[in-house]
Amino acid sequence: MSSKQPRYINRELSWLEFNQRVLDEALDSNTPPLERLKFLAITASNLDEFFMVRVGGLQMLAEQGRLKPDPAGLNPVEQLQAISQRAHRMTVDQYHCYVGSLEIQLADQGIRRLRPDELSERQSNAVELVFENEILAVLSPLAVREAEDFPLLINQTLNVCVQLKPDDESGGQARFAIIPFGRTTYRFITVPSDGGYEYVLLEDIIRDYAEKFFPGEDVVECVPFRITRNADISVREDLASDLLSGMEDLLDERRKSDCVRLEIHDCVTTKSRLFLQQTLGVRDEDVYAVPGPLDLSSFMRLTDLQGFDSLRYPSWPPRHSPNVDLSESMFDVIAKNDVLLYHPYESFEPVVRLIEEAADDSEVLAIKQTLYRTSRNSPIVAALKRAAENGKHVTAIIELKARFDEARNIEWAKKLEQAGVQVFYGVKGLKTHAKICIIVRREPQGIQRYMHFGTGNYNEVTARLYSDASFMTCNLDLGADATSFFNAITGFSQPQKFRKIEAAPIGLRQKLLEMIEAETQRKRQGQDARIVAKMNALVDPTIIDALYDASQAGIRISLNVRGICCLRPGVPGLSENIEVISIVDRFLEHSRIFYFYHGGDERVFISSADWMPRNLDRRLELLVPIEDKLCRDRLIDILRTSFSDTSKGRRILPDGSYESVVPAKGEAAVNSQQALYQQVCDAEKRAEQSQRTVFEPHRAPGTGA
């Protein structure tokens, strides 16, 4: 490794390469058209959040004159320059994908975007009716004579900038007006069609009818634009006496924050572009002029169109786990054996059912649960409310600081409090990201605790889209640890030493470092050693350095990192024994699974935490050992399958770029997600066949067993 080469890849540039891997799925002509559109919309949504959070934060640092470099050696100004160059190239790729390929392919398959001059007479009449009755009556043009007149535009909503012909009062200067769309305006206008689905975009209609907004005026130009505001703003918890109120103020503050990106159609004139730039305070490098529709994320709605199933992936509905008997109570199921579920291949329904049963079971005394991100109509939240109304002691830790879910979590917090749930908003200075539910039940042998630990959120909707592990147990040691962890959060007490689990920010980081160091020492002593880990992101320099040391000791290290990876793999003398694979496919890889050979006594953990400073130092997270042999072996097999992917696997290279993992000559490509789904289908089928071979006689009434 060159002495000038930094030991780490820049976090932001690594994230952009991850988003490019998602975009590659949209660019792949072998991907079904509506799935291509979905991937494209995801890249746009991802980029929106990246600008709001990461770019917004860097811009604030640059404006404050902070020049401290990141671990990769780049200061905020240098990072912003590199980000701008890479993001502009990515935007070009996005529109090459949509305008140059995908829009044409969708039109050939019956999903057509029409411009006003392409409408038939019947369609034109329908559009005119919509404009007169719905658009003209709802939208309001706002004249901008001075900078102070410029409206407070909502973050990431579409707007139209209208340039009017100068009049006598303007002294020959261009005049401008803004037509804000707001959040509620429907952008996709369906038009009558003889087949398929045809639509017109709202901004195209407004451009065609612009004069009707300005009677007696000459419209020189009508161009759509969109702004992205800085969302890297946090509440000062030490100053907020009421966190819920403080979070509500924070959401209001975000509506007025600085503009960090201006997107505009590339047909814009220099005069209009400069007007918007100067008024919004946007630099040249933060302007993104595009040759197609703005806000590609909004095209996600088209992916749900009815009647176009042939343009999607074949359906993979979640399967029932053979380890969960649907005829039994979840308490009986867990009392017999620990249960490991791997979503979305296996249904999330047993987790929901466990909490719903607990809400109605007369023997359940208490439920304690963390909630980070939930669905809009969460059955789990409904069950917690019902449990409280049924007289059970219910405690919920709702993380109000879950970024972009703050409003929903505030709403849930208020409703749960009204139902009698004891609600906590977490711990000052930390986000509660751990996924844990404890159910305390009175049973003949005494009090029993049932636990659920997960790598993903308590969200039955995303559980059909994200790959995550769920572990359900009534293990006594894990029950004691779970209670200690929960009580430390709600009782303002010092956490006690755990028997099995580890928690961040207390001992989780140290546990990981100890496990890596133990493998390193064994290898140096001539013993076998192995480290395999699957996660969303690898950023933490201390963990990366420990992995570098392990690699230099000769340990073969396999990392499956979906997103950001700041470790440089395959560098001679530093990390030549480390391989990093990333998988982007139909399901979002979200599980965190860690494996250590440990001298043959294999240790396997699931966790809510990625290997990032924020997870290890600034969040409440859990690391849970999986000691049940069947559950542990299954996780090892899941890891093995994930590393076998020669279809969607991408190998990260030392410079942070990537290459496809290809099958060996003569071997068929392996798709890990398809293989995992086939495994659960086969297991379900074997269980059904096994049940059919068990003969249960009909007994005559009154006969004994």
Does the structure show a pLDDT above 80 at 89?
Answer: yes
Whole-angstrom CA distances from 560 to 111, 138, 579, 685 are 37, 50, 8, 30
Q: How far is the C-alpha of 63 from the C-alpha of 590, rounded, in Å?
A: 35
Give yes or no: residues 236 and 284 share one domain. yes
Residues 6+ apart with CB under 8 A from 553: 520, 523, 524, 529
Q: Let me know if residue 320 belongs to a domain.
A: no
Which residue's entry shows tokens 């918007």? 276
User: Would the CA dihedral through 522, 540, 607, 493 be positive or negative?
Assistant: positive
Percentage of the chain exceeding pLDDT 90: 76
pLDDT of residue 430: 87
Give yes or no: residues 457 and 410 share one domain. yes
Which residue's entry shows tokens 């296996």? 346
Give yes or no: residues 602 and 552 share one domain. yes
Give yes or no: residues 404 and 524 share one domain. no
User: Would the CA dihedral through 266, 269, 270, 271 be positive or negative?
Assistant: negative
Least confident range from 265-279, 401-415, 597-611, 660-674: namely: 401-415
Find the Cα–Cα–Cα–Cα dihedral 409, 413, 416, 422, rounded to 10°. 130
Which residue's entry shows tokens 């007479």? 121
Question: Where in 132-206 does DSSP place strands (E)?
Answer: 142-144, 158-164, 175-180, 188-191, 197-201
3-state secondary structure of 197: strand
pLDDT of residue 247: 41
Q: What is the pTM of this model?
A: 0.91
Q: How far is the C-alpha of 628 from the C-alpha of 475, rounded, in Å?
A: 10
- Position 7 confidence tier, pLDDT thresholds 50, 70, 90: very high
Give yes or no: residues 459 and 566 share one domain. no
Q: Let me know if residue 319 belongs to a domain.
A: no
Q: Which two tokens stand for residue 267?
A: 């047909």
Q: How far is the C-alpha of 154 from the C-alpha of 78, rounded, in Å?
A: 29
Q: Let me know if residue 25 belongs to a domain.
A: yes
Give yes or no: residues 41 and 63 share one domain. yes
Give yes or no: residues 542 and 634 share one domain. yes
Least confident range from 368-382, 665-679, 684-698: namely: 684-698
Q: Let me know if residue 701 belongs to a domain.
A: no
Question: Domain boundary residue among 246, 272, 296?
Answer: 296
User: Would the CA dihedral through 558, 563, 568, 571 be positive or negative?
Assistant: positive
Q: Kindly report the CATH number assigned to the domain that includes residue 64.
A: 1.20.58.310
Q: How far is the C-alpha of 151 from the C-alpha of 168, rounded, in Å?
A: 25
Give yes or no: residues 432 and 566 share one domain. no
Give yes or no: residues 208 and 338 share one domain. no
Q: Kindly report the CATH number assigned to the domain that includes residue 257.
A: 3.30.1840.10
Give yes or no: residues 678 and 568 share one domain. yes
pLDDT of residue 520: 98
Q: How far is the C-alpha of 234 from the C-alpha of 19, rounded, in Å?
A: 25
Q: Give per-residue pLDDT as tens, 349-384.
A: 999 999 999 999 999 999 999 988 888 889 999 999
Q: Let me know if residue 590 belongs to a domain.
A: yes
Give yes or no: residues 20 and 128 share one domain. no
pLDDT of residue 395: 94
Higher pLDDT, 696 or 294: 294
Query: Tell me, what amino acid is at 62?
Result: A
pLDDT of residue 235: 37
Question: Domain boundary residue among 440, 473, 498?
Answer: 498
Across the range 177-194, mean pLDDT stands at 88
Q: Let me know if residue 702 belongs to a domain.
A: no
Q: Which two tokens stand for residue 166?
A: 């100068």
Does the structure show a pLDDT above 90 at 236?
Answer: no
Selected catalytic residue, list 433, 452, 590, 598:
433
Q: Let me know if residue 199 belongs to a domain.
A: yes
Give yes or no: residues 251 and 334 share one domain. no
Identify whether 320 is a catalytic site residue.
Answer: no
Q: What string of H, E and C letters represents the secondary structure of 570-588? A: CCCCCCCCEEEEEECCCCE
SS3 content of the chain, % helix, strand, coil (to 5): 40, 20, 40
Question: Where in 244-381 does DSSP place strands (E)?
Answer: 259-265, 287-290, 339-343, 364-371
Average pLDDT of the residues of the chain? 91
Q: Let me know if residue 618 belongs to a domain.
A: yes
Question: Domain boundary residue among 82, 109, 136?
Answer: 109
* Bridging pattern class, strands 603-607 and 530-535: unpaired
- Position 424 confidence tier, pLDDT thresholds 50, 70, 90: confident
Percentage of the chain exceeding pLDDT 70: 91
Does the structure show a pLDDT above 80 at 677?
Answer: yes
Range of the domain at 137: 118-296
Quote the number of domains for the chain.
4
Q: Kindly report the CATH number assigned to the domain that includes residue 444.
A: 3.30.870.10
